[in-house]
């Protein structure tokens, strides 16, 4: 029997896994790493992903993983030039909506939508990005009442520091937000899941004293927003800045504020600790990326999974990467 954590698909380089359960099967929507030859830089210019695949399986610990192939290519998206970064998928009324991030021809990241009739695609993109969208790393969370929320944002290469109050600045200000922390954003989606139904709001994370985390706090938000629900509470998890911890905070509603709880996972090899959390067949799982031991090229990553556990108070027990 295979012991977790498990590399799910080491034969190809995939990262930023968004795991979802559709029709009793587990689907993972990753970004697709490849060695483009671009020089390494702190803004992620060497991450030149061109397409998305989807993986599926029915037995997380031992089952065969199926790669359904390309579900969307950058050449199919009229407004996007390059860098098809993180994505996520949500179902509504029998349709599947892929929300993804990519750079336009002016070098600016936006979020786009593509639609399919089945979880494995193919997905047909909308001609234009979501109005008022910016930055990267979308997570689409469907609440119990059917409302769908999009969480997004990433600093440095993710360009979140280019915006204030949802408006683009005339010039980039402090990339790390050292004077003011830069929070993730959240917006409820329209009923057709094609646009924001409201102006994005900041996702505020509080410390144990009820004060917002400071910009120099090692547990502040950097990128990789993810939302899941456990015992009626909202769990917002994310990757931190230079420390690259995977952290989480808990709130009473989709907008927060969320109170910081702790670290789920220490940094992996290969940029930020990008992840997703999902329940499947009565078990909770943490999906993330890491570099296989034989690979020291940190922008060529592979999808990994291991079980996740909660204590009696609903706190997530820290997991050990192996």
C-alpha distance from residue 141 to each of 35, 41, 71, 91, 145 (Å):
31, 31, 21, 10, 11
Residue 9 neighbours by CB under 8 Å, 6+ apart: 55, 65, 67, 302, 303
Concatenating the DSSP letter of every residue in 264-312 gives EE---SSSS--EEEEEETTEEEEEEEE--TT---TTS-EEEEEEE-B-T
Active site positions, annotated: 16, 223
Q: What are phi and psi of 39, to 5 degrees?
A: -70, 145
List Cα–Cα distances, 73 to 32, 78, 138, in angstroms. 11, 11, 18
């Amino acid at each position: 029997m295979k012991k977790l954590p498990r590399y799910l698909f080491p034969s190809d380089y995939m990262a930023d896994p968004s795991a979802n359960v559709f029709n009793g099967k587990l689907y993972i929507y990753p970004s697709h790493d490849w060695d483009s030859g671009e020089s390494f830089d702190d803004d992620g210019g060497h991450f030149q992903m061109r397409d998305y695949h989807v993986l599926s399986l029915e037995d997380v610990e031992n089952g065969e993983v199926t790669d359904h192939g390309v579900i969307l290519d950058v050449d199919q998206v009229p407004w996007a030039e390059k860098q098809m970064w993180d994505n996520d998928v949500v179902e509504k009324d029998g349709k599947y909506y892929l929300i993804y991030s990519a750079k336009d021809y002016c070098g600016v990241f936006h979020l786009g939508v593509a639609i399919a009739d089945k979880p494995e695609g193919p997905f047909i993109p909308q001609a234009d990005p979501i109005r008022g969208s910016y930055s990267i790393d979308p997570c689409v969370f469907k609440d119990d009442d059917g409302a769908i929320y999009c969480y997004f944002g990433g600093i440095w290469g993710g360009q979140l520091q280019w915006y204030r109050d949802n408006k683009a600045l005339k010039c980039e200000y402090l990339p790390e937000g050292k004077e003011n922390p830069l929070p993730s954003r959240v917006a409820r989606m329209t009923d057709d899941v094609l646009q924001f139904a409201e102006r994005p709001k900041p996702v505020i994370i509080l410390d144990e004293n009820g004060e917002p985390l400071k910009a120099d706090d090692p547990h502040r938000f950097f990128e990789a927003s993810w939302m899941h629900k456990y015992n009626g509470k909202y769990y917002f998890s994310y990757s931190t800045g230079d420390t690259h911890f995977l952290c989480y905070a808990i709130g009473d509603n989709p907008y927060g504020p969320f109170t910081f709880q702790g670290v789920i996972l220490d940094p992996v090899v290969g940029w930020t600790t990008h992840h997703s959390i999902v329940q499947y067949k009565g078990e909770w799982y943490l999906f993330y990326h890491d570099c296989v031991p034989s690979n020291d090229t940190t922008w060529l990553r592979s999808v990994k999974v291991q079980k996740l556990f909660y204590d009696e108070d609903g706190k997530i027990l820290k997991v050990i990467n192996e």
